[in-house]
Structure 1
Amino acid sequence: MFVLVSTIRGWGNTDLFSRAIQHVLRPYFEGDEFYNRKWDLYHYETSVRDFFLLPIDQAQEFLKDLSEQTGITKGLLDPPNKLAFFISPEAAQEEPKLIGSVSSKEEFNKLVAAHSWSDEVIADRKKKEKVKKARKKKEKQSLAMMGYNSSVRTARQHLGLGMKACAMKEAAGEGVSEDRPRPVLVAIDVEAWEQDHNQITEIGIATLDTALIPSAAELPALSLADMDMANIDYDNPAPKTRASVINELIKCRHLRIHENRSLRNGIYVSDAADKFDFGESEWVSLGDVPAILGESLRFFDENGNKRNVIIVGHDVKQDLAYLRITGYDVWNIKDLEVMDTTAMYKAVNDVHESRGLGRVLTDMGVIFWNLHNAGNDAAYTLQAFVCLADRGLPPYSHQPASPVAVPAEDEIPPATLPEPKEGEYPDYEDLVESGCISYIDPAKNQLGPRPKSGKKGGRARANRDGFEPPQEPKRTVTAQQIAEVEDGWGTSKPVEDDVW
C-alpha cells in the first residue's frame, strides 16, 4: 500500500486537528525535518497524470515517531486506509515504480524533477483521454439505442402494426403473424405523498387487451408517421389514425387509499387526486391493494390458460418500487415483461435524453389534462405507448451505422441546453416541482433561483482544492410571467407536463 506525498505532507493541516495542534504539527510536515529520514520514492502513472508515492508503512512509522515527540495521538495513529492511495485497475501501470531512496529535500526535489511530466505531456494525455471517453460514450449510446429500437419493434408486434418498425416503409400489419401471442398491456402509475414517499395515496391501472385490436386491414390507413407532428391543428377534430382507434380500447381504474385520504399534495406536486377524467375513482383500503393488483394483472383466455401480461410505464422503475410499499411485488409474476415509454421515445426521436410524460404526449399530438392523477397518468402512459409504436422508428434507423469520427478536444463544442421550441411552455407547477425555481416571498411576487445541492461536503471539498464551483445565474419570475406561463396555450393546446 502507498500514500501520496502530497497527502502525507498535508496531513497536519486536516480538520482532524484543532488550529492549535495544526500550529504544532506544521513544522514537522512542511519543514526540512520531513525529508531528514529515509523515504523510498515511487512514481505512478495513469492515462492523464502522474503521482509520487511513499510506502504507507514508512508513512505510519513517521506518524508514530511524530506522536511520540509531540504527545499527540488522535489523528496520527489512525488506520492506514485513511492515508492509502487507490490504484485504478484501468491505469497504464499495474504497480508504482521505485525511482530511488531519498533522505534530504535536495535529493527529493532532484528525483521529482527528473521524473515529473511536463505541462505539454499532461495536456496531450488529457486531450487523448477526452477523445477516448467521447468514443466510449458514443459506443455506449449506440448500444443503448439498439435496445431502444428493439422496444419499438416489440411494441409494434404486440399491436399488430408491422414488423419493419418503420411505418413509412411498410403496409399496415406487414410481416405480422395472425397466430402471434396477444398479451394484455397494463400501465401502472403510483402517486405518493410529496412529504413522505412511503405514504401511497393513489394507484392508476390502465389495461389494453391486444386480442381486441382489429386486424391491420380494419384499422385506418393513416398512421402518426404520415402526419406532420410539428404542425398539428388542435382547433379542428383530429383525423382517425391507427393509434387513436386502438387507444379507444383502453380501460382505466383510479384507486385512492382510504387510510391516506387526508394526505394531499400541492406544495411540490400539483394536487389532481380529485380530477380523474376516465371514470369514477374508487376508495380502497391499503390492506386490499395487493389483492386488487393481483387481480388486475391476472388474465385468462377462453380455454382457461393464463395470458401473458406486459407492464408498461413511463420511467417504470419508480412506480414498481412504489408498489412494493403496498406489499405487492410484480416481479413474482412468471414470465413478466416490462416496457418503458421513455426508451421508446428515445428510439422514435433518435435522442438519448429522457422526457417527461407531458412532453411525450405533446410530441405525439395527444391532448391531455390533469397529470399527476394516477389514473390519468396510467391512461396517458398507455396512450403514449400506442402512439409511439404507431409512429415507428425514423427511416434512417435501419441504415447501417457508419463509423463515427470523434472530434479532437479543441473541436468539441461546449455543451448547451436545448432551446425550447416555439409555442412550448413549461407548466409553472412543474417548474417548482423540478426544482428549477422556488417560491420565496408572495409579497414580492417573484421566484428565486434553484436551491443549492444538499450533498454534504461539495463546497468544502471545492474550497480545499483551491477552486470555487461556478454559480448559477440568478433568475426571477414576476407574477405577470407566471400568469403567461399558466395561460400560455389557452384552451386549444394541453399544458406541457415537463421541463426541457
Structure 2
Amino acid sequence: MPASGIERFLTLIGGEANLPPELPPQAQPATTIPTQDEPSEDSEDPFSGLPSVQEVIEQEVAAEEAARAHSAKPQVHTQPQFTPKFLPSSASPLSDADAHSQMPMGEPAPRGISFSPFIAVTRFCYKFVSHQWSQPLATAFFDANKIYHRAWDIYYIWSDQHQTARPTTFVPEHQLQALINDINQAFPEAHISLTEDLREDGLVVNLDNLPDELRPLSLGRTTSREQYDYLVAAIPYPSRPPGTMPDDRSLQAFRDMIDKMVELGKAKSKAKKKANQQVAIQRRQEMSKQVLRAQRYLGLLPKKDDDLLTSMNNLTIPPLDPNTAVPHPFEQDVIIIAIDVEAYERSPKTITEVGVATLDTRDLRGEAPGADGGDWRRHIRGRHFRVVEYKHLRNHEFVEGCPDAFRGEFGTSEFVAREELPSVLTSCFHQPFSRREVDPATVATEEESSGPDTLNEANSRSTEKQSSSPDTSTEVNSTATPEEKRTIVLLGHDINQDITYLHSIGFSVLNRSHLAEPLDTATMFKSYTRDNNATSLGRVLLHFDIDGWYLHNAGNDAVYTMQALLAIAVRAAAGRGSEEAGRKVGEALEKRTADAVEMAKERVRDEAEGWSLHEDEGGESGYAIVPSMGEERREAQKPVFGPPRPVLYTMGGAVLDV
C-alpha cells in the first residue's frame, strides 16, 4: 500500500520532530460541522496529490532527455519567444529620452549605431589599458561587479548559423564611451580613448551590414550582475528562422565576426601579435597617403602620372613657399565638402544639427595659401542647418553644445524640417555648391531684427537675391555651368560617425555621383604628428593656432574641419624635406619614448613596494594562525539553515566530520 501524502511530507522534513509547535486552541465560530455520514470535501487529505520522491526524480530525468532531444532537432520559429516580460525588481526605471531602453525584448537592433561586445567591455581595464592604470581603474569601476552597476542596454546574437556555447551580448558604443568619459573624469592623467587599434581589434563593430535574420536582438536594460544573468539565462535556444537565408559569403563574414568577438576575451599569441603589427604598419601607410592625396587636390604636390613616375623617382620635391601661388595644377579640379553632425546626447538617433563647409579649388587658382593655408580660408562656404522639431534640445552632459552660436563670418543658421533635411543636404552636393551671393552680415542683421521665428523668411529672401544677382566676388575664377559635373571629395573629423548619422536620417552621403573619396582630418593629423592616438578637433586647431570658438556647433565644426585640412596639408608641404621638420619629428619621438620609460620605471617602483623580510619598527614579525582558531572562526561565520543536523559516526564509534 503506497504511503499517504502526510507520511511522504514527514519523510521529506526529517520526521515529526521538525514540525512547528502546535498552536493553542482558539474559539471557533459556530459553523456547520459535517458529520461522518456526510463527509465534507474539505476533509480530504491535502497531500494526497503530491508526487513521491521517486516520481519527482523520474520527471526530472524525463525533462532532461526531452530537452536534449529538442535541441538535436532543427526547429522553425517565427520569432524567439521570451519567457520574462519584465526585469527583476531591482532594475532602474526606463528613461523616455533613451530610445534603446524603450525597445521591447526580441526586437531587432536599430541601424545607424555601432556596438561593443559586452564581455570585452567588462574586462576593459584588464585587457585594453596599460598596466600602470589597470588596477586603479579596476578598483574604481570594475571589481566586485561594479561594472554591472551601470545602466546597460543589452543586445545579443545567438544564431543557429554559427552556434556558440553562450549568446554573444553587445551594448551600444555610446554607452562604452560614457564609461570612458567617467574614467577620464576620475583619472584625468590616464587619457583613455577608443583608438583605431581597439576598433580594428573588434572592441567597436558596425552591424548594419548584417541581414535581418542575423541582426542582434534587444534583450533589455540591466543595472546589476543578477539582472544580466537573469536575462541571458532567459534567451531561447537558437533555431533557424524561416525565409531566405543569406549567401555563403555573408554567412562566412558573420561567422568570422562572431569568432572575433569570442577571441577578443582571450590572450593574443605571439604570431597573431606580429600579424597585427604588420596590419598596423599598413594602416599607418594608408593614413600618410591621405595627406599626400589632399596635397595633390590642393596643388601642393605634382599630379601622380604613371607615365612620368619612373623619371620622377630620383627627383626631390622642394618645400612649398606659402607666400606664393602653388606651383602645381589642382588634381581633378575637385570641390571639397566637409560635414559635421550633432546628435542629442540622450538619443543618438535624434539629429539636431548638420554643418556643411564647401571649398572649390577653382577659387584658389593664382592665390598664395599663406601660413597654414590662412589666406585660402576666406573661400570656405559655411552652412548650418538646425532641425526645427529639435531646436529646443541642447547637449550639456557630455559636451557643451551651442546650437545658436554659429559664427557670423561663416554664415547664418537655417532652420529645416526633419523631413526636408535629406533633400536640403542633397542640394549642397550640386550646383552652385552652397555659393553665397549676399553678405552674411546682411542676413545676420535681418535675423536680429526679425527674431528666430522668422529666420526661414530671411533665408528665402537671401535665396531670391542669390538667383537675381551675380557673384562678383568669385565670378572671375568660377567657370562652372549648371550642367557641369564636378568631382567631389568628402571631408570630416572622425568621419565614419558622421556618415552613420547621415545614413540614419535617410541621406546616403557616400551614394553621390562623382564622389572621389572621403578624407578624415583625424587620420591625417595622426600621420602628420606620427601619433596613433586620436586627437579632438579642438586640439588640432590649438596645434595650428586657429581660433576655435564655439565648438560642438555643427556649422562651426564643419568650417574648422576644412581649416584643419588646409593647415595640415600646407604646413606639411612647407616643411617637406627640411631639417627643422625632421628635428621636430625626432623631438616628438624622444618625448614619447621618455614618457614611456618613466611610466615603466614608476610601474616597477610600485610593484616593488610592500615586500620585506625584516621585522617592522614595533618588532612585530607576524604569527601563524592556529588552525583550530581558523576553523572556529569559519564555523562561526558559516550560516546554518533548517533543523539541527544529526551527528554521524564511523563504524569505530568516532564522530564523522562532514
Q: Which has the larger radius of gyration?
A: 2
Q: Give the TM-score normalised by the residue count of structure 2.
A: 0.38
Q: Give the TM-score normalised by the residue count of structure 1.
A: 0.49
